[in-house]
Amino acid sequence: MEYFTLSNGNKMPMAGIGVFMMSPAEAEAAVESAIKSGVRLIDTANGYMNESGTGRGIKKSGVAREEIFLVTKLWPTVYEKETAIDETLARLGTDYIDLLFLHQPTDNWREGYRNIEKAYKEGKVKAIGLSNFPEDLLKEAIETMDIKPHVVQVEAHPYFPQTELKAFLAETGMGLMAWYPLGHGDKNLINEPVFAKLAGKYGKTNAQIILRWHVQSGNVVFPGSRNPEHIRDNFDIFDFALTGEEMAEVGKVNKGVRYYNGTPEMLAQYAKMELGPDL
């Protein structure tokens, strides 16, 4: 395993599993399988409504909680709720979160951030992150909050490598977690000739080449899968390395294409959308 060192000295695994769009039972099974396969980074969220299942999967794995880097996100409707973090801890069945994000940049994000800062000072949260935040709000957080954010989570993949954002993050010491690391499963991306060529050279799949490119670019990846074999494959990217020339070749794939755009109208809806049951 390779690690990214956060600005506070904590180390985060460069690859793990995400449980977006999984039921609690599916998340439980996927997390247990992933941890038993060697995965130590788990990413969930209030909004996925499967934190309880994620917590059960961690416990069923038999691996000590201290060995797991657990990531979750507060949903906008609970940013100002004083008990939101304690309720999140209860669903996950843990007394601390390794990295806690604000999920979306809605109007009340500043109050939510202050609540996370309080939990950070109390030891309930070990690192603070901002998910889907634009650069201007990242700068505001850095300049105005007591504790600078440690990680940003955004869409990133070879078709949209976040080049400008990464240059900014390099100046701040913030890490990048890449969601949709495989381009939301876009076959056009996965089947780009450069990935097929490199897969043949290294005896890997096209997806493994893409995930390896992420890691060597400094991106933390957490692809989701319910299939134990796919989970193992997604994690099997640490026994080879792309050359500098090959990394540059992959860089030419950039098309400026992203698969998600959070409009102001959509963010306004998020600010009002109540969470469903998490069983």
Residues 245, 210: Cα–Cα separation, whole Å: 15
Q: Which of 3, 48, 113, 270 is catalytic?
A: 48
In contact, 220 and 13? CB cutoff 8 Å: yes
Residue 131: C-alpha distances to residues 61, 89, 118, 138, 189 (Å): 28, 19, 19, 10, 24
| Alpha-carbon gap, residue 143 to 108, rounded angstroms | 17
Annotated catalytic residue 48: yes
Whether the per-residue pLDDT at 262 is higher than 80: the answer is: no
Question: For the segment 160-211, what is each residue's pLDDT rounded down to a tens digit?
Answer: 999 999 999 999 999 999 999 999 999 999 999 999 999 999 999 999 999 9
**Count of CB atoms situated within 10 Å of the CB of 268:** 13
Compute the CA torsion angle 151, 157, 159, 162 (nearest 10 deg). Answer: 10
Q: pLDDT band for 99, please (50, 70, 90 cuts).
A: very high
Q: Is the pTM of this model over 0.85?
A: yes
Helices 244-251, 206-217: crossing angle, 10 deg rounding: 100
How far is 149 from 146, CA to CA, in rounded Å? Answer: 10
At 13 the pLDDT is 98
CATH H superfamily, domain 3-270: NADP-dependent oxidoreductase domain (3.20.20.100)
116-166: pLDDT as tens digits: 999 999 999 999 999 999 999 999 999 999 999 999 999 999 999 999 999
pLDDT per position as a tens digit, 41-89? 999 999 999 999 999 999 999 999 999 999 999 999 999 999 999 999 9
